[in-house]
Amino acid sequence: MNLKFNPKRRTFMIQSNLAKIGRLFGSLLFLGLLLGNTGEASAHAVVTESSLRHQPIELNHATEVVLHFNSGVELALSRVFLVSKGDVYHPLEIAKGKKPGQMIIKVPALEEGDYALKYKVFAADGHLTEDVIRFKVSAQR
């Protein structure tokens, strides 16, 4: 070991300490994400039932789609879009259902084709859930 003051060596030591602190923060952050994700899995707003399953959307008929979530949802912070051919996004009006965790989506009259409802929903716990529900509108019903 060289006991004489060596400015070059000193800067090197500071840098290596910073690198250690950086690595420590990195691992803590990773651990936090890991724990956070496992903790959240059950708390998010997850669709437990959709009216689309038993009530398909009729051709050229404005309708309401009801989604049931496993937790309360913050409507003011939630967004639902109708996605149609060519990835065209159209924001849809949403309203509160009768029961907590229910969301009513106002879907305009639609032509035949493949569509999707893309939703970004804030659960009562403040977590955002993003998902897509695909559906088809066809004449033969």
Among 93, 111, 114, 125, binds Cu ion (CB under 5 A): 125
| Closest approach of Cu ion to the CB of residue 44, in Å | 4
Task: Give every strand in the sheet of 63-69, ordered side by side.
Answer: 47-50, 63-69, 102-107, 94-96
Inter-residue contact 122 to 77 (CB < 8 Å): yes
Report the nearest approach of Cu ion to the CB of residue 85 (Å). 33
Closest CB to Cu ion among residues 52, 129: 129
Please report whether residue 127 would count as binding Cu ion according to CB under 5 A.
Answer: yes
**Gap between the Cα atoms of 59 and 78, Å rounded:** 27
Question: How far apart are CB 40 and Cu ion at their closest, in Å?
Answer: 4
Residues 29-58 within binding reach of Cu ion (CB under 5 A) = 40, 43-44
How many residues bind to Cu ion according to rule CB under 5 A? 5
Is residue 106 within the footprint of Cu ion (CB under 5 A)?
A: no
Of 40 and 112, the one with the shorter C-beta distance to Cu ion is 40
φ, ψ of residue 57 to 5 degrees: the values are -75, 130
Whole-angstrom distance, CA of residue 31 vs CA of residue 38: 11
3-class SS at 93? coil
Residues that bind Cu ion (CB under 5 A): 40, 43-44, 125, 127
